[in-house]
Chain A
Amino acid sequence: MSDSLSATAVLDEAADGRQPSVNDLTIHVATVNGSGSQSSNNVLMRSIFQMGIPVSGKNMFPSNIAGLPTWFTIRANKDGWIARKKEVDLMVCMNAQTAREDVEALEPGALCIYDAPLNCKSIRNDLIFFEVPFAKLAGELTTDSRLRKLLTNMIYVGIIAEQIGIEREEIVNAITKQFKGKKKAIDPNVQAIDKGIEYAKANLPRQNRWRVERMNKTAGKIIIDGNAAAAIGAMFGGVTVVTWYPITPSSSLCESLIDYMKQHRIGPDGKATFAIVQAEDELAAVGMVLGAGWAGARSMTSTAGPGISLMSEFAGLGYFAEIPGVIWDIQRVGPSTGLPTRTAQGDVLQVWYLSHGDTQHITLFPSSVRECYDFGSEALDLAEMFQTPVFVLSDLDLGMNNWMSDPFPYPEKPIRRGKVLSKEQLDKLGGKWGRYDDVDGDGIPYRTLPGTDHAMASYFTRGSGHDAFARYSEKPEDYKATVDRLAKKIETARGVVPQPVIDRRAGARIGIIAYGTTDWPVEESRHQLRTESSVETSYLRLRALPMSEDVKRFVAGHERIYVVEQNRDGQMADLIRLEVANDQHKIRKVLHYTGLPCDARFITNAVLEMEASISAKEPLLLVRGGVQRKTTQAAPMRGPATREARGED
């Protein structure tokens, strides 16, 4: 197709009946990891952002340093729908390993820019192909082979810019930001951009199908990843002891924190108001967190699923011995040798019940970078207020990808440090107090910190073998009283943890429940259901466990509830079922678990499919799927026992 076009031709958007699309496109870039494409992709994303257009960028990368395939998806959308979208409009093929697959997955009519030797145009004939001799162009810029590789990526940014109308000035601004104003790095990259623009102008037909135009929806906004946002939140939340063990996708949380703390938490005397320790493993990391929390520090660590497994024994000790500490779990696909660089929401049940005995842990679910920031400090407060380990379940998509957000507000409220008895208070009490004595009736006892200068301050900490005064006891009544009070404490937390965000629509017969990053495709899917299929939905976004009473009311108020989440078994749906004894039959599961973020179309299709089946003898109660459509669509599998469908959309 492109072969026959002259250099100055304009592709006719009406040829296949499509309307030109302004500020609504998805760009998918396929490269080899270690080739330096991350900078180019960030520049591409940021320049669109700087033109005022809502945008998201998602990096899909292998567990590898160099040589394996990696993809980056940029979605620009004037209405602010920035969840992942599977349908690609503009493909950049730079990787021979995946070129065929990448091209075959495209929708007919998509635009494919490819590196000349890949000869993508021979693969199919229903796409628009633009061939670019990247090696030759880069060779004209430099003779340095390493630099040539990096600049090649910047050239495709220039080509895309020329093709869809990204302003050159914003690209230069984005490059300046990316390379922190270093002229030595900026100049060759800008030259590469110009090389791409010139080449596109002179050699490629102009297309009008996808355009970006300046708008005003991003003014004053920031771009940040969830891990950095969490780090900032923790820093302003007064964290003092941080321990960590490197694990993808959580490492950047503590690494960001180290950078920020060095800048903002070292006094004029050069002394630090914090301690950050890289531990020898996750057991040590969480052990240090609990030791520090016990001694009165606001302490935290961050990890991923395999680390959570290793923290299990300590989590139980923290729960029973009532010690504060915050554990961030940036969820990823399991297990250790699974897909460590792919996203999931698969740790819900593991974390909620983590450890031996009857344990339940306060767990928060941020859905946005703003909530990562908020929970960065909220989790520290809750841990100290409830004297228990608090978990924050983010995921790889939120933690490692770049998201737009309004700037974070400065915290207005002082931090909350919970029930700690001082020397003066002990004096007033005449030294009479019980470490595990529930004097307030809320299940939360008082504690003292080691080092408190009072002869009656001390107590001996051990798991559950104690009475209300921390004296050693194996008496049945003492043990039962301890665990019953712990249950009461978690009951108290039910109304104190971040409450759900509820959007109840008049007349909506169905409700959706989701949490974490699934929020983004859910909101878009609700829009699709409303505008395309006239299906109105209410929505409850869960933000914490223990579950708010609102969940029961929400379920009771709707005929059917679709719980959308990114795991195979519907872990949160099962927890909701436990909470809503009489309404269990209403719960349906929509499950996306491919390692890639859930998209709106999958949810929409699943909900419609299940809605269509309600009058059937065996209505669908579960849809599992999310795999990219291939040319031939597999029929949904229906298991009579589970009444489920494995949808491929």
Chain B
Amino acid sequence: MAESVLKTSNAEPPKENRVGLKAADYAGGKSTLCAGCGHDAISNQIIRAFYEMSVKPEKVVKFSGIGCSSKTPAYFLSRSHGFNSVHGRMPAVATGAMLANHNLIGIGVSGDGDTASIGLGQFMHMVRRNIPMVYIVENNGVYGLTKGQFSATADEGSKLKTGVLNDLPPMDLCALAVQLGCGFVARGFAGDPKQMVNILKAALAHDGLAVIDVISPCVTFNNHEGSTKGYQYSKEHDEILQQIGFVQSYEQIEVDYEPGEVREVTMHDGSRILLKKLEEDYDPSNAVQALERLYRAVDNGQMLTGMIYLRPEKKSFLSLLNMTDEPLATLPLEKTRPPKSALDQIMRELM
């Protein structure tokens, strides 16, 4: 397995972040998931990313649908409001909340059952609308909370604990997101926390929907001989697209690299994503190439991780709505009730 992270700094991280909070201020409740669950590894990186990005937890809103993955928002950022909603319908709830208050920083956690089956429609429409938030799919190929049925992302030929073989092709949520025009599509692996945290930071810097499909092994129902989303299998098949580095806008960090070796993408907040090429010709701003590479990975039995598609310039839904700067939720009455003259005019037109 190649190194997945581009080292951007040697400095020790400070004990407090730029908003004066400690890492512990980003903690959540105690996880009730199985020991070794990939989801907990992801939660830890979420905590780290928000802490290191100095995001005030009070500004964050956490959303989820139903399933093991959807329980996790209770296990990080206790100081943020969270909403464990309806199976497959987190996108609608999150969309409504982001409309109500566009200053919020949204993070949604879903699973492969929640997103690829019952919630596929809402997921696709959320991508189409480009709601500015992070959308994580904790993808383990099985329904955990209902005890191990195949999900729609299970690979063809993979085997359940009971010996049942999956004979349907998997949905590739990354390919779907690229097709629907998502401006930020990445795939991570719960067993690669360094890559994960850099992807998360980049996603937080993205003004649009950031879809992150994370292979997150289910240690209880899909981590055995014959499963294709277990730790061992994933480690062996992880094909890293590029080394990812993330440099925050305020950091004066110059990274040494040969000309043409690193692709640098500046995000709307001034931060930079550095992508060190491992595959000579891969261009993450090219949707056709991204799809071609994803299909090829399936053919070659690879689990492709890294920055799959990145177009930070796409306009988000909230900017298209051209809403007033103050959140709709807290607008005072004088801004939401037109004057009497407006009603008089309407009544005159109806006489």
Contact = CB atoms under 8 A, between A and B. Distances in A.
Interface string A257-272: 0001001110101111
**Interface secondary structure of A, over-half rule:** loop
Nearest to A373: B343
Contacts of B328: 240-241, 273-275, 292, 297
Q: How large is the interface on B (under 10, 10 to 19, 20 to 34, 35 or more residues)?
A: 35 or more
B336 A240 contact: yes
B294 to A, nearest CB: 25
Contacts of A275: 99, 321, 323, 328
Nearest to B325: A271
A408 B347 contact: yes
A648 B334 CA distance: 54
A638 B100 CA distance: 56
A26 to B, nearest CB: 24
Given A263-B342, A461-B85, A472-B74, 9 more contacts: A222-B347, A222-B350, A265-B338, A273-B324, A290-B85, A291-B95, A295-B98, A414-B333, A458-B81
Interface string B288-311: 000000000000000000000000
Given A240-B329, A275-B323, A461 B84 contact: yes
A81 to B, nearest CB: 22
B96 A289 contact: yes
A382 interface: no
Interface string B48-92: 000000001111010100000000011000111111111001011
Interface in B149-201: none
A426 to B, nearest CB: 11
A263 B341 CA distance: 12
B268 interface: no
A548 to B, nearest CB: 29
A222 B351 contact: yes
Contacts of B252: none
A236 B82 contact: no
Q: How large is the interface on A (under 10, 10 to 19, 20 to 34, 35 or more residues)?
A: 35 or more
20 contacts: A236-B343, A238-B336, A273-B331, A277-B99, A280-B121, A283-B89, A287-B91, A288-B96, A290-B93, A292-B97, A295-B101, A297-B99, A299-B96, A299-B100, A450-B61, A450-B80, A450-B101, A459-B82, A461-B82, A461-B84
A120 interface: no
Contacts of A243: 96
B336 A295 contact: no
Contacts of B121: 280-281, 284
A591 to B, nearest CB: 34
A298 B328 CA distance: 8
A451 B73 contact: no
A222 B345 CA distance: 12
A291 B59 contact: no
Contacts of B82: 458-461
Interface string A440-455: 0000000011111111
B35 interface: no
A272 B333 contact: no
B235 interface: no
A449 B329 contact: yes
A287 B122 CA distance: 10
A295 B340 CA distance: 29
A313 interface: yes
Interface in A197-250: 220-224, 232, 235-241, 243
B187 to A, nearest CB: 25
Contacts of A236: 337-338, 343
B103 interface: yes
A314 interface: yes
Counting chain A CB atoms within 10 Å of each CB, which of B74, B82, B343 scores highest? B343
Contacts of B94: 291
B346 interface: yes
A389 interface: no
Contacts of A273: 323-324, 328, 331, 335-336
A451 B91 CA distance: 19
A415 B97 contact: no
B330 interface: yes
A319 to B, nearest CB: 13
A454 B56 CA distance: 10
A411 B130 CA distance: 37
Contacts of B337: 236-238, 411, 415
Contacts of B92: 279, 283-288, 291
Interface string B88-119: 01011111111111011000000000000000
A196 interface: no
A293 interface: yes
A288 B131 CA distance: 12
Contacts of A462: 83-84
A294 B74 contact: no
Q: Which 3 pairs across A and B sit closest by C-beta, in order of nearness?
A: A291-B96, A287-B92, A296-B329
Given A220-B351, A291-B100, A408-B343, A240 B58 contact: no
A287 B101 contact: no
